[in-house]
Amino acid sequence: MGDGERRMVFVTVGTTCFDALAKAVDSELVNEALLQKGYTHLLIQMGRGTYVPSKVTGNSTLQVDYFTFSPSIADYIREASLVISHAGSGSIFETLRLSKPLIVVVNEDLMDNHQSELAEELAERKHLFCAHPQTLQKTIEAMDLTALQPYVPGDAKPVVTLINKFFGFPVD
């Protein structure tokens, strides 16, 4: 790892309001953990959240920046060395498709928290790491990126074949 290399951590909350995550990544302990792992930049997409992280610039420390929304999150994911995301399936599969290491942070304040199901299942299959806002620092410290398994994207063909069979269309 050269001195001048930029290793960016991209944090995304999607269209939601997830202040607990913005606060967690903005904390000194998490910043320290990210620096220890060799990351140089932290970029936070804060959505509709009200918590405003503090911007930090300077060479000796982790550089922090933020914005609210962007029409194309994919560009930031592509640029990132690590993605920390809310548990929405959109951001999860977008990150996995771009083969970026991913930590999913589950929002415990959501009423119907079915979203954690997906993150936990994919974590069990070693496609990503799953954390809660208060365990994020530990997850970053303990994570071993080499343990992650690449995700093979799904395929709609079997479902469509069954629909075609239902109508008696010839299977091609």
Partner 1 sequence: MGLDVSMAVCYALPVLVSLLVVRFAYVKYCSGHPHLKLPASAAGMRCLIVLGSGGHTAEMVNVVSTLQKDRYTPRYYVAALTDNMSLQKARVYELSLVQREVDKEKAIENAQFVQIYRSREVGQSYFTSIATTLLATLHTMWIIIRIRPQVILCNGPGTCIPLCVSSFVLKVLGLGWSSIFYIESIARVKKLSLSGLMLYKLRIADQFFVQWPQLQKKYPRACYAGRLM
Contact set with partner 1 (CB under 8 A): 88-90, 93, 114-115, 117-118, 120-121, 153-164, 166-169, 172
**Shortest distance, position 84 Cβ to partner 1, whole Å:** 19
**Shortest distance, position 155 Cβ to partner 1, whole Å:** 6
The whole-angstrom separation of Cα 108 and Cα 39 is: 27
**Shortest distance, position 144 Cβ to partner 1, whole Å:** 24
Beta strands in the chain (DSSP E): 8-12, 41-45, 63-67, 82-85, 102-105, 129-131
**Shortest distance, position 169 Cβ to partner 1, whole Å:** 6
Q: Which two tokens stand for residue 62?
A: 């982790």
The whole-angstrom separation of Cα 77 and Cα 125 is: 22
Return the number of the residue (65 or 117) whose C-beta is nearest partner 1: 117
Partners of 80 in the β-ladder: none
Return the number of the residue (59 or 167) whose C-beta is nearest partner 1: 167
Return the number of the residue (9 or 104) whose C-beta is nearest partner 1: 104
Return the number of the residue (38 or 90) whose C-beta is nearest partner 1: 90
CA angle 134, 17, 80 (to 5 degrees): 70
Residue with tokens 């083969």: 99
**Shortest distance, position 121 Cβ to partner 1, whole Å:** 5
Return the number of the residue (64 or 96) whose C-beta is nearest partner 1: 96
Question: How distant is the alpha carbon of residue 143 from its chain centre?
Answer: 14
Give the residue among 76, 64, 69, 73 at the shortest CA–CA distance from 30: 64
